[in-house]
Amino acid sequence: MRRRPAGEGRRPAPAWMGGARPWQVLALAAALALPPAAALAERVTVRSGDHPGFGRLVFDWPALPAWSLQQQGDGVLLRVPAGTTLQPPARLPRNLLSLAEEPEGIRLVLRPGASAKAYRLGARVVVDVADPPAQPPAPERTRAAARPVAASPPPAGPVEARSRARRTRGAAPPEAPSPPPALAAPSPPAPAASVAAMPTSPAAPAAAAPAPPVALPAARPARPLPGGQAVLLPVPAGTGAAVVRRGGEVLAVLDSAEAPDLAPLRGHPVFGALVADPLPGATLLRLPLAPPGQLRARREAAGWVLEAIRPAPALEGAPALMPEAEPGPPPRLLLKAAAPGRVVPVADPETGLPLLLGTLREGAEALPVGRRLPEFDLLPSLLGAAVLARSDGVAVQALRGRFGIAAAGGARFALDAGVTQPPAAPAMTRSFDLPDQPPAELLNRAQALQAAIAGAAPLTRLAQRRAAGEALLALGLPQEAQAMLALGFAEDPRATADAGYAALAGAAALLAGRLAEAGALRAPDWPESDEATLWRAALAAAQGEWREAGPGFAATMPLLLAYPAALRARLLPLAALALAEAGERAALARLLGRAGEAAEDLVLPRAILAELDGKPEEALALYDRAAAGRDRQARARAIRRGVELRLVTGAIDAKAAARALEAALYAWRGDRQELETRLRLATLRRGSGDARGALALLRETAAMLPEQAEALQPAIRDAFLAGLAESPPLAAVALFDAFPELLPADPRGEEAMLVLADRLLALDLGDRAAALLRQAMERAAGTSRAALGLRLAALRLQESDLSGAEAALADSAAPELPAGLAQPRAVLAARLDARRGRVPEAVAALRALGPAGGEALAELLTESTDWAGAAAALGTHLAATLPAPPATLADAQRRLLLRQAALLALAGDEPALAALRESAAARMGEGPLAEAFALLTADPLRGLADLPRLQRELQLFRSLPARLEALRAGAPVTR
């Protein structure tokens, strides 16, 4: 297009400009009127926008020069190279009074109290001007009247709606068509706001004279219904209102420009944070209110009363806006209401899309259940109607007794397919937007969001990426959802600080099988909600933490059943298994009842439920069915649980159970379930007498899972000791030689070695037993070493290897030993001295030990034919070691008593024999030992009357050696 020379007359607009907006025509005319030099100069486009808490300027350079930002009084200087020509925005942000070029750069004059910061974004410089801090209200407050609005704006057409949606996501649009202001003359300051919490409204066009200020009606606390906090908002008669929750805020719209004064609410525990934003002919009130808190609105003579109530189920029973489809033409969706007001468009704080709020002049109709349709969302509301437009062709009109919603192209509405929240879960608090829509509608929504993301600026895509991730997750596509959300982390720093966005990415990673990337679901800064509880339970279940997962799923089951079919199909098996493993029988029965009998992936939970109900036959049939299925993890669990149930019911023994459980080893590999299966199989092998097989399996497990090697050591040592005890002596020695490091350095290892040595001695393998004891002693320490050394010394002494016995005692000596070990070592040392010919020293050492050395002292004195001394020493030992009557005596104790009787008989001590007979005869019982004891302790012959007794005793003496020999050899003894 040829540029018009300066001063040339204007020509009428051509026909192709007939559809252009007035402000577009004015901008084009201003560009055509520039002088030639300015037209050829390189211009820097400046865009502006107002956002909650700050305003923004974006300087878009073709190639970013060197720049810096310097604070100077009430303004800042953006230093850039000289000769920069700006193309200013249509409207400055609310906190910026003027924007002017200077030789040193670009000067920005800020509103008093505002502050600015700048940062680089590609080839752009972004300057954010923060709002001044809130000031305490003055005693009397006024405000400038809003610009008069002749009538409500007509419904937006497709082009205008698309332009509005884009401006909403980026910079704020101008309110009226006006040419860009000249940079040389700063714009006059806007009048100060009368309410500190209310942001300043956009500046009016220069041609419009400000209306005289009017007094504001003051909001004040109202009398609430029982259990709530309420506030009265005085508004003119006929003012309509609408209330809807969006995220952590509740939005209330009044279709009147005369907003109430919020100063009296400062410091209120609930409504002190209420903020009013002026709109053309309306007022938007924003109140931060954590879920499940809600606002209930009611109309009174003086105005609207907003009451904060908890919990959300208190809203049940309120009049509902019931949607009905009108076939047309054109097809419309109707919401019947008694007194509909105006339709007020606002920007949705969550998605940035147009949010069309239909107000009510009276009544309390709300929409408790939202719906999702391809071109718009009918949001759940607390008062009035709320329509989130996802298409440029959506129009909402207030009609007589109803609201009408129409979409471009005459689309028909299927009201039975877009319910976002079924009545089963009205009180569940949510963190994500996962609507239960048909897959085709969810797919259309995801495609529309992807197209919108492609056409949006990078730093305005975060909300749309979140919505697209939710749509993909609802479609059961977690890998695609995680990839979509990962792009948000890469391009927008706000994504990392958004706990809800990170949790959504964690949910997608969980369903995609990437548990290491799902940690954001447990982040402490993610606000608590029922949906957070549900997804944390899902993460716990995926990690095998059933006790934590089961109660979480039981508490959030209505929310799970309200999910879309594709997402629900992925979560139901995990939830059912968690409820089954956690023993949540009642919740599991309800879940399986809702899921139906045809769900093949719920066979395993049904089998567990049958087992919990005491139906083993039905449970085993279902376990066998799950074991034959294609799900490998369910197959492994079914095999294991089926084996355990058959073992408990006695259908198989431990050996058969071990063989059956071996099939589950390779059904599922690589997680805690495989480790548990291996440990259980090792236990079954040990229980069936295959300790060596259990040891081999545990060693294989430790090598396969090095991180579990330390935790497996106790089980490995137990299997090793069991193998030593069960194997034949030579096989046990070979097992010890193969794994000597597995011998525990505690009494269990000591006992195992002593038992194995005795078994070798029974086979006349004394040298092998001695070598085994020497090897075990060298690996042991402390008391275990001393005990093994004592046994080795006794073995060497028995084989008359006096030097070996002395060396064994010396090598196993320890500074401090318990009396039960120190005394036997001293006795053995005394016996060694006696064998070396140092009998007096040995006798003195044994007498010093007291009763503990009595038995060995009796042996030494017997060898010296000191019968009386030997009897006295043995009597001292017996008095200290025999249990008190009437306790039963062991064979070794009865032999000592018989030996005592023999020594007393040899010593001729008749009184002592009589005393021994009186105290011990009844405790000797029956058998050869008792008969011999009776003979030795019997009364002496005193006359001819004792001859028959003498005859019987002589006959008994003749047979006694043979009977005692049979007893020593272990042969059966008969009378």
pTM of the model: 0.49
pLDDT at 228: 60
Residues 897 and 784 in one domain: no
Asked whether residue 124 is domain-assigned, the answer is yes
For residue 175, being part of any structural domain is answered with no
Q: Which two tokens stand for residue 891?
A: 């064979």
Q: 396 and 291 in one domain?
A: yes
The answer to whether residue 517 is domain-embedded is: no
The encoded tokens of residue 743 equal 């011998």
Of 771, 799, 827, which residue constitutes the final position of a domain? 799
Domain termination residue (choose one: 740, 765, 799) = 799
Same domain, 771 and 894: no
Tell me, yes or no, whether 642 lies in a domain.
Answer: no
787 and 920 fall within a common domain: no
- Report how far Cα 20 is from the mean position of its chain's Cα atoms: 56
**How confident is the model at residue 500, as a pLDDT?**
92
For residue 417, the tally of other CB atoms under 10 A from its CB is 14
Give the span between the Cα atoms of 479 and 493, in whole angstroms: 22
Residues ≥6 apart with Cβ < 8 Å to 358: 242, 335, 337, 340, 341, 342, 343, 384, 385, 386, 387, 396, 398, 403
Q: Is residue 484 part of a domain?
A: no
Residue 772 lies in a domain: yes
Question: Is the residue at 533 inside a domain?
Answer: no
Residues 6+ positions from 313 with CB-CB distance below 8 Å: 426, 427
Q: Do residues 794 and 899 both lie within one domain?
A: no
Separation CA 697–CA 685 (nearest Å): 9
3-state secondary structure at position 115: strand
- Helix (H) or strand (E) holding 796, with range, is helix 782-798
CA-wise closest residue to 365 among 288, 296, 444? 296
Element (H, E) at 57: strand 54-60
Amino acid present at 395 = A
The span from the CA of 720 to the CA of 695, in Å, is 6
Residues of the chain falling short of pLDDT 70:
1-42, 134-228, 310-318, 327-330, 374, 408-427, 597-599, 670, 939-975
Residues 794, 886, single domain; the answer is no
pLDDT of residue 32: 33
Question: What per-residue confidence (pLDDT) applies to 567?
Answer: 93
794/889 same-domain check: no
On whether both 304 and 401 belong to a single domain, the answer is yes
**Tally of structural domains, the chain:** 4
Instruction: Kindly state whether residues 255 and 388 are assigned to the same domain.
Output: yes
pLDDT at 218: 63
Statement to judge: residues 907 and 775 lie in one domain: no
Residue 791 and residue 886 share a domain: no
What is the per-residue DSSP string for 900-927? HHHHHHHHT-HHHHHHHHHHHGGGS-SS
Q: Flag whether 61 is in a domain.
A: yes
**pLDDT score, position 166:** 40
What is d(CA 607, CA 625) in angstroms, rounded to the nearest whole number? Answer: 9
Q: Do the Cβ atoms of 603 and 634 come closer than 8 Å?
A: yes
Q: Which structural domain range is residue 79 located in? A: 42-130
Confidence at residue 224, expressed as pLDDT on a 0 to 100 scale: 56
For residue 71, the domain's CATH number is: 2.60.40.3500
| Residue 232 shares a structural domain with residue 328 | yes
From 374, 391, 413, the end of a domain falls on 413
